[in-house]
Amino acid sequence: MAFPVPEPGLVISYAHLWHRERGEKKTEGVKDRPCVIVLKIERQNEMVVVTVSPITHRQPSSETPALELPQSVKRHLGYDSEKSWIVLDEINQFAWPGFDLRPIRGRNGRIDYSYLPPKLFERVAAGIRDVWRRSRGKSVRRD
């Protein structure tokens, strides 16, 4: 399987492991879901580490920082029409390409949907920075 070059803003299919699931001693995400690459770090020895934020259909509680994904963006991504949110206080980090990337059904083995529009990605990145600045973020390392 050929993997795309990981870049911030790219939406991928990934078995995201929620922080609460890690607390329950789970090592695998229960559901494959779209996630947004929010950070890419190129380390020495050519290793690339990416940070992703999950996209969920479940409406977040009022305490959970999230951005609703506009329907126009969902159409652009080729994703379903149900309401969805990008969760800003949960991230996974892993070495690219990693074992938890998943092929998207009906897309000939592809794991990427497309990119978020730049203005929406800027809002996502700003929201995540704000969450982490206030020490409210939850991170799960997946290597």
> Consecutive sets of 10 residues in the chain, 143 residues long: mean pLDDT of each?
93 97 92 98 93 98 97 97 98 97 94 98 98 96 89
**d(Cα 9, Cα 55) in Å, to the nearest integer?**
13
Question: CA 14 → CA 37, 50, 78, 141, 143, distances in Å?
Answer: 10, 12, 16, 14, 14
Domain span holding position 122: 10-141
**d(Cα 122, Cα 107) in Å, to the nearest integer?**
27
Residue 1 counted as domain residue: no
Residue 107 counted as domain residue: yes
Residue 5 counted as domain residue: no
Q: Are strands 48-56 and 112-115 parallel, antiparallel or unpaired?
A: unpaired
CATH number at 22 reads 2.30.30.110
Strand partners, 11: 36, 114
Distant-in-sequence, close-in-space partners of 39: CB < 8 Å, separation ≥ 6: 8, 50, 51
The dihedral formed by the CA atoms of 124, 126, 128 and 134, expressed in degrees to the nearest 10? -150
Overall pTM > 0.85: yes
Residue 89 counted as domain residue: yes
Residue 3 counted as domain residue: no
**d(Cα 129, Cα 89) in Å, to the nearest integer?**
9
Residue 2 counted as domain residue: no
Residue 65 counted as domain residue: yes
Residue 29 counted as domain residue: yes
C-alpha 142: how far from chain center:
13
Would you state the pLDDT for residue 143? 78
Q: How many domains does the chain have?
A: 1
Q: Decide if 53 contacts 34 (C-beta within 8 A).
A: no
DSSP assignment of 98-132: -S-B-PPTTSTT--EEEEPPHHHHHHHHHHHHHHH
